[in-house]
Amino acid sequence: MMPAAPSRDATDTVRQHGAPLHIAIVMDGNGRWARARHRPRSFGHSAGRKAVRAVVEACLREGVQALTLFAFSSENWLRPRDEVGALMNLFVRALDKEVDELRANGVRLRFVGELGAFDAGLHRRMQAAMDSTAQNSRLQVNVAVNYGGRWDITQACRCAAQAVARGELRPEEIDEARLDAWMSLGALPPLDLLIRTGGELRLSNFLLWQAAYAELYFTDTLWPDFDAACLHQAIEEYVQRERRYGRTSEQLAPLP
Ligand code: IPE
Ligand code: IPE
Ligand code: MG
């Protein structure tokens, strides 16, 4: 039997890997950070902005090509109205304050998720930030908002179905590579390292497709306390990992 066509992860990344090119982070623990200080949860969300800045700056220094941050899940709408409102205000404030500096530092900013669900003013700001940084290529920062991994897979399948309906694609031509290209982040290097702060050991519906062969790193550090040193520690551990993609260690040994 012919082996199945390997996915993009398995074909070109079996190598002695260096630093990660694409890092994703579930920025969790803001609420507990605030509670420990007897402050409202929104205080923890605001404090998390400093950690975002620190991580973006560290990625610029470490030569990372793409950083994908989980800022608001499709399930987070279920939180109390006040908290959702505070998060939306924080996104507006952050967009108004940070975009110029990001642009000046060569960052391309993208929002991934179902953006149509946000109010018109916020949606417009997100689009403007994407447009104004679109020419940059030093570091791509993706902010996942109203994002869910199952939504992502579903919308890619819908794109495939539409291409079939238009007569541009036959069903048997739908393969992993084509679906991957329709998935959010499809044009970027494969996800190398997925970090979750805040101590929970789950993906919470983040990047389900893209995480297939990512290295997972969980830390108890709460997001507002995460900084460049924490990121560096995660990268150091990542570099020590052996990425086998189903092969054996011996198969990975460099040729004599
Ligand atoms: C993550 O921190 C931020 C968002 C989900 C928006 P949390 O708000 O989930 O903080 P904890 O997990 O309750 O501490
Ligand atoms: C995941 O954190 C979403 C973000 C960090 C944006 P949650 O705090 O919402 O995840 P659960 O509910 O603990 O799984
Ligand atoms: Mg949480």
Q: Indicate whether residue 113 lines ligand 1 (CB < 6 A).
A: no
25 and 196 Cβ atoms separated by less than 8 Å: yes
Q: Is 89 a catalytic residue?
A: no
Q: Is 28 a catalytic residue?
A: yes
Sign of CA dihedral 154, 92, 87, 56: positive
Looking at residue 224, its pLDDT comes to 98
* Total residues found in the chain within this entry: 256
**Cα–Cα nearest to 193, from 7, 17, 4, 1:** 17
Residue 228 lies in a domain: yes
Calculate how far, in angstroms, residue 115's C-alpha sits from the geometric centre of ligand 2: 18
Whether residue 156 is contained in a domain is answered as: yes
- Expressed as residue numbers, the domain containing 133 is 22-238
Tell me the HSE value of 3 on the side-chain side, using a 13 A CA sphere: 5
Ligand 1 site, residue 221, Cβ cutoff 6 A: no
Q: For the residues 104-127, what does the mean pLDDT come to?
A: 97
69 domain-assigned: yes
At 80, which CATH number?
3.40.1180.10
In a domain, 252, yes or no: no
Token reading at 159: 């794109």
Report how many domains make up the chain.
Answer: 1
Contact 157, 189 (CB under 8 A): no
Give domain status of residue 59, yes or no. Answer: yes
Domain-embedded: residue 110: yes
For ligand 1, is residue 149 a contact (CB within 6 Å)? no
**253: confidence class by pLDDT, cuts 50, 70, 90:** confident
pLDDT, mean over the chain: 93
